């Protein structure tokens, strides 16, 4: 299960194409300030845009995890930390390729 509870923590396991990552509008502002994670019923190629999610609200999609951003600095911090993870995953992938 790609999205599950581990005690008080919500866990999302990415990498199989079974979690859709979608932006949503919040409070009728017309601006996308919410990032939602939705567990799909089937695996899709990673990076697939699920057309049936476009234009829906988080409630309409049964979104399991929501990240709501109030300012640019918060987005920048999340992006910065994701870049650290990305760099380590690239290293891991390169090491695997060297071993094969």
What does pLDDT average to over the chain? Answer: 89
Within this chain, do residues 22 and 55 fall inside the same structural domain, yes or no? Answer: yes
pTM for the full predicted model: 0.81
Residue-number span of the structural domain to which 91 is assigned: 71-100
The number of CA neighbours under 13 Å toward the Cβ of 80 is 6
State whether residue 76 is helix, strand or coil. helix
- pLDDT at 58 (0 to 100): 74
Per-residue pLDDT tens digits for 35-83 = 989 888 888 899 888 777 777 777 777 788 999 999 999 999 999 999 9
Same domain, residue pair 60 and 18: yes
For residue 77, the model assigns a pLDDT of: 97
**Between these two residues, 26 and 65, which has the higher pLDDT value?**
65
Whole-angstrom distance, CA of residue 69 vs CA of residue 33: 6
Which region holds residue 27: left if phi is over 0, alpha if psi is between -120 and 50, else beta? left
- Residues 2, 50, single domain; the answer is yes
Is 87 found in the same domain as 53?
no
61 and 29 in one domain? Answer: yes
pLDDT of the residue at 8: 96
As for how many domains the chain has, the answer is 2
Q: Are residues 91 and 47 in the same domain?
A: no
Residue 19 sits in the same domain as residue 51: yes
Residue ranges of E strands in 1-100: 3-6, 9-12, 19-25, 32-39, 65-68
The H helix count followed by the E strand count for the chain is: 1, 5
User: What is the token pair recorded at 84?
Assistant: 């650290």
**Structure-model confidence comparison of residues 29 and 44, the more confident one:** 44
């Amino acid at each position: 299960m790609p999205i599950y509870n581990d005690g008080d923590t919500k866990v999302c396991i990415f990498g199989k194409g079974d979690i859709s990552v979608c932006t949503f509008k919040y409070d009728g502002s017309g601006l996308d300030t919410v990032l939602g994670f939705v567990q799909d019923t089937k695996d899709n190629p990673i990076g697939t845009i699920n057309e049936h999610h476009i234009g829906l609200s988080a409630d309409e999609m049964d979104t399991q995890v929501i990240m709501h951003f109030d300012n640019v600095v918060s987005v920048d911090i999340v992006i910065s930390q994701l870049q650290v993870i990305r760099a380590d995953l690239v290293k891991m992938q390169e090491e695997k390729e060297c071993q094969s």
